[in-house]
A = this chain, B = another copy of it.
């Protein structure tokens, strides 16, 4: 064992940058999956809570979420966007006007969003899936780059976290990099730090917390799933009629819908033209079989529903222990 102390702690450059204790962020999952309650709970536990700002509720929903989060915590939190969707500028400007000083962009060139963020004195993160996109984000002057591996749930790219993160670190240095995708316990966090990441961004791990916005059926399905049960596919986007940038697909838990359509995308396009509206109108009973249960390969680590605060505390304690024990073990020679 390395010399220890009583209090588990991970300190990196992003702790200072965001004025937080632990370099752990919840992913700002869209569609209401990462609401004010989740962001506030993560921030209260010493991480950086993120509200997913892209929902059908638009600006009004987001402003209300920011108000709720501020009632729940005095600590910093941020808002993240699916930035190739329309209205991202409007949403970001509303968040900045409401006093938010940390914003995250994803799935788009962050350059057009930088002037307004800078004018407000906000910190900007940008999530990327390739080295080329990381370089574009660094050139735009973002404060932090999030490198997202293909393991991630929801929309992601095709390169895995382990080989992606060090290459992004090298490509954007000295800009700090945060790792996303496939991380859900202290071992994953310790590994990400070894790859050169200064923090971690977790979606699936926070989806099953009591504060996340997904339904209890959804949470139960993620808890049941193993890491082998996910599929990276366009079928849910095809039936939703929502286009995503080249090289991006969605990772979801295999279900009746994906079993039927993966590998038959052309046929699905024809089917969706006729039955898309009907499919989109299916009620909550059909959710887990017919709709996208977005989740990453980290689903294999999620075995119970806990609070987001407990998740942050246990991740920090585990990562601290792993770093001390494993580093000492392998270097004892």
Contact = CB atoms under 8 A, between A and B. Distances in A.
Contact of A332 (B11, B130, B181, B188): B11
Given A2-B327, A151-B160, A188 B195 contact: yes
B161 A162 contact: yes
Interface in A181-233: 181-185, 187-188, 190-196, 226-228
A162 B149 CA distance: 10
Nearest to A322: B194
Contacts of A7: 333
State the copy count for this chain: 2
A35 interface: no
Interface stretch (A64-72, A109-117, A267-275, A296-304): A296-304
A2 B185 CA distance: 24
Contacts of A329: 11-12
B333 A11 contact: yes
A65 to B, nearest CB: 30
B182 A190 contact: no
A195 B166 CA distance: 16
A162 B159 CA distance: 12
Interface of A: 2, 7, 9-12, 130-132, 149-151, 158-164, 166-167, 181-185, 187-188, 190-196, 226-228, 296-298, 300-301, 320, 322-324, 326-327, 329-333
8 contacts: A11-B329, A130-B228, A151-B159, A160-B160, A160-B182, A163-B227, A190-B191, A191-B194
